[in-house]
Structure 1
Amino acid sequence: MTSLANPATWLAGYIPDLATPFDEKGAVDLAAFAKLCERQIEAGVSAIVVCETTGEASTLTPAEQETIIRAAIEIARGRVRVIAGAGSNSTSQAIELTQRAEAAGADAVLSVVPYYNKPMQAGIHAHFRAIAISTALPIILHDIPSRTFRELSDDTLARLAESRQFIGLRDATGDMPRLIRLRPRLPTAFRLLSGDDATSLAFIATGGDGCISMVSNVAPDLCRAIFSNCRQGRLQSARYLQNRLTPLTACLTKESPAALKYALCLLGFMSPNTRLPIVELADSAKAELASAIAEIGDEDLACSIESWHGPRLREGHARSLRTDFQFTGKA
């Protein structure tokens, strides 16, 4: 568990918001989940996010969430931090999920602005303060108005950040000027991360600390290279790498998380199974996604695939990704 006395310097770079694999019977596939975690750890990420947006948290039971968090902790063995999604539009449920995450050994929780209820800013502030009082864990706030229909205002964020328990923000607004507005109002140690892959490079180049990312599930090494180049001032190289990911990012964003699960299926890591009301992609979307992966043309991605599945998949993988749209077996 992360100590509040330590600055959250680890909360940086591209941090994957991991998918939750399901087997053919709809149960959580912990074997596939372990492979997803290990792949990210080997790619050098500082942390992994589980049971959040991409992880289909809204369809997981509290017991399943706790099982996944405990599995992630066991797999990580202290090599990376584990950030547990623990959000709800019910404050009492968010507190329960947060306390379960703490009991399971999570290093921090990611807590989303309450959705559907459309609370006032005073209600949003009270919601997060109630969660903070219930736990000793560091809290990362998640602002994603496209899903919650209520934003976390700058004023509310600044008030919450006065407490050292709130260590960062996942900002999925896509509002680049906001980052410039926020920096002078927040403690130096408070971390600002993008929650939008399409604008993540601009966010980081403007002074952001990283991105809690969906696309890094598919191409962790490429995402790491983008961040490294940006941090070292090689913006032209970072833009070039980011542009290679643009078609894939667009495909994943259209039908998340079904598109991500199908992408990971094509790479041999898991089944594409989802839970209702999410269903699998249509054939046309599968073809578009397969083409986007194949056209990345990234040697690191190819090497990553080879390291997990052997050279056979690497040989001609671009051709097979374009034409083979049927899952043929577990990773």
Structure 2
Amino acid sequence: MFSGSIVALVTPFNQDGEVDYDSLKKLVDFHVEAGTDGIVAVGTTGESATLTVEEHVKVVTKVVEFADGRLPVIAGTGANATHESVTFSRLLNNSGIAACLSVTPYYNKPTQEGLYQHYKAIAEVSDVPQILYNVPGRTAVDLLPETVARLSKIDNIIALKDATGDLDRIAIHRELCGEDFVLLSGDDATGLDFVRLGGQGVISVTNNVAAADMAKMFRLAKEGNFEEAEQINQRLMSLHKNLFVESSPIPVKWAVHKMGLIANGELRLPLTELSEGARPIVAQAMAEACVY
């Protein structure tokens, strides 16, 4: 279930700042039709940090409703307070989600023991599989392989989303965590190489824009056809990189709006719209990828 091209879905807002559920349904249908392998709802790309608890839970449950069993939905449940992550996990236990994805606590900079206890506490209140998420470039804390190994011994902690871009960690994680532990990339630029070296797939920002190509690329990779997969990857490489020309999800939300998939590119403060100077860069990347 947790493999291939999984989209880190953006959360669309109306111009009044409220969640745009019509656009959200349109996004889910777009990914079903494109062959996307799964959706992460209200992960960090979905601006989880600026949604209220009530909004967070409603968006996840609406994505499950809109998906209607056509693809698995993973709920973002991360927070920098353990009790908040625990609350999300409890509230979503019977929502129909396939798993929870929890980013490492940001700003707090917990020790490795603190990280272990954080994830252990979340796992203990949840009936669904748990996916760890390590993105030190955004959180200022690194979930080290030895800690991942400890956590992998907890029954319902079944996977890691690794956004470090450090491909050497794949073999280390595999050795420490075993063959059954799922390894997913969180770095589009190295995602295909991640799978080539033994990972199962990617949770992707690029997938918001190039869903069909990403799905095809990782199907080819699963079949062992890396030569053809690499041709697609090279065409998308400018997107992989330039969807981060400003803080994500600013560029990807602008791109998805330009494609007509959401009514507008509204973000919640402190994020602001893509700057005039960055727009040609993202537009060029979209043109090179043949998506706009």
Verify same fold: TM over 0.5.
yes
- Cα distance in structure 1, aligned partners of 2:214 and 2:37: 13
Cα offset for 1:142? 0.1
Mapped pair 1:167 → 2:158: yes
Q: 1:75-114 counterparts in 2 under 5 A?
A: 75-114=66-105
Give 5+ residue unaligned stretches, structure 2: none
User: Where does residue 230 of structure 1 map in the other structure?
Assistant: 221
- Cα distance in structure 1, aligned partners of 2:63 and 2:274: 27
User: Where does residue 323 of structure 1 map in the other structure?
Assistant: none
What secondary structure is seen at the aligned counterpart in 2 of 1:16?
A: strand
Mapped pair 1:259 → 2:251: yes
Mapped pair 1:282 → 2:271: no
Conservation of the 8 A alpha-carbon contact between 1:162 and 1:187: no
Size of the aligned set, in residue pairs, is 290
Mapped pair 1:18 → 2:9: yes
User: Where does residue 265 of structure 2 map in the other structure?
Assistant: 272
- Cα distance in structure 1, aligned partners of 2:61 and 2:224: 38
- Cα distance in structure 2, aligned partners of 1:85 and 1:198: 22
* Paired-residue identity, %: 39
User: Where does residue 243 of structure 1 map in the other structure?
Assistant: 234
What secondary structure is seen at the aligned counterpart in 2 of 1:64?
A: helix
Which string of whole-angstrom CA distances, capped at 9 and with x for unpartnered residues, describes residues 265-317 of structure 1? 111011111110100011121122112112223xxx5xxxxxxxxxxxxxxxx
Which structure 1 residue ranges, 4+ long, deviate > 3 Å from structure 2? none
Conservation of the 8 A alpha-carbon contact between 2:3 and 2:201: yes
Cα offset for 1:228? 2.1
Mapped pair 1:196 → 2:173: no
Q: Which amino acid aligns with 1:277?
A: P
User: Where does residue 32 of structure 2 map in the other structure?
Assistant: 41
Q: 1:307-318 counterparts in 2 under 5 A?
A: none
- Cα distance in structure 1, aligned partners of 2:49 and 2:269: 10
- Cα distance in structure 2, aligned partners of 1:208 and 1:227: 11
Cα offset for 1:238? 1.6
Conservation of the 8 A alpha-carbon contact between 1:226 and 1:242: yes
What secondary structure is seen at the aligned counterpart in 2 of 1:170?
A: strand
Conservation of the 8 A alpha-carbon contact between 2:120 and 2:154: no
User: Where does residue 56 of structure 2 map in the other structure?
Assistant: 65
Cα offset for 1:11? 0.2
Higher relative contact order (CA 8 A, sep 6+): 2
- Select the structure of larger CA radius of gyration: 1
Which string of whole-angstrom CA distances, capped at 9 and with x for unpartnered residues, describes residues 84-126 of structure 1? 0001111111101111222433221101111111111111100
Cα offset for 1:236? 2.2
What secondary structure is seen at the aligned counterpart in 1 of 2:88?
A: helix
Q: TM-score, structure 2 length as denominator? A: 0.96
What secondary structure is seen at the aligned counterpart in 1 of 2:278?
A: helix
Give 5+ residue unaligned stretches, structure 1: 1-9, 302-317, 319-331
Q: Which moved more, 1:136-145 or 1:288-297?
A: 288-297
Cα offset for 1:263? 0.4
